[in-house]
Amino acid sequence: MQSRARSMHLMSQLSNKKPSISVTNEEVKDDIQLLMKSDPGLFKEIVKKHTDDVLASLNDMQHQAEKLLDNVATSCRPMSRDEKRDLQKSIKELPGGNLKRVAEIIKDHYVASGKEFSDEVTVNLEEEDGVMLWRLHFYVAAVKSARKLAS
């Protein structure tokens, strides 16, 4: 019974944004271990709730960042032919995981623009609008910067 009461107290503390008492990392680890042992179902429920909350917040932040990038890209000058060629070359050099993100950027732009998008898309950078081109440019530049930092 005491273990269940402790579990309920832990649940209320974990669910609150600010715990009512100051705790150390070691105490938190001990409390988590106790909760996992005493009530695994409750522990899973709490973890799922917090995971869902964090994922929803991250998803919302991603959408806000996407809107911000679109707003920035709308104010950019038209891309020159040389810049388009450089962008095309840089995209071809990206690893597979990054190419998936390029496809997502293109898909999102097509959907937002009301254009049709199929699973296989051939994009002619000469014919695309500046917003998508600059979004791709910013993404490729971010990947290049991350690679430089990693090496």
Percent of the chain with pLDDT over 70: 84
Alpha helices in 23-94 (DSSP H): 25-38, 40-74, 81-92
**All domains of the chain in start order, with CATH:** 2-52 (no CATH), 76-150 (1.20.1270.220)
| pLDDT tens for each residue of 119-129 | 777 788 888 88
pLDDT score for 61: 93
Query: What is the pLDDT confidence band of residue 1, given thresholds at 50, 70 and 90?
Result: very low
Q: Rounded to an integer, what is the distance from CA 9 to the centroid of its chain?
A: 33
pLDDT score for 14: 58
pLDDT score for 17: 54
Query: What is the pLDDT confidence band of residue 140, given thresholds at 50, 70 and 90?
Result: very high
- Residue reference for tokens 């898909």: 107
Residues sharing a CB contact under 8 Å with residue 2, sequence separation 6 or more, in sequence order: none
pTM (two decimals): 0.60
In the DSSP assignment, the letter for residue 94 is: S
Tell me what the mean pLDDT of segment 86-109 comes to: 91
Residues sharing a CB contact under 8 Å with residue 105, sequence separation 6 or more, in sequence order: 132, 135, 136, 139
Cα separation, 80 vs 77, whole angstroms: 9
| pLDDT tens for each residue of 18-45 | 555 666 888 888 888 888 888 888 888 9
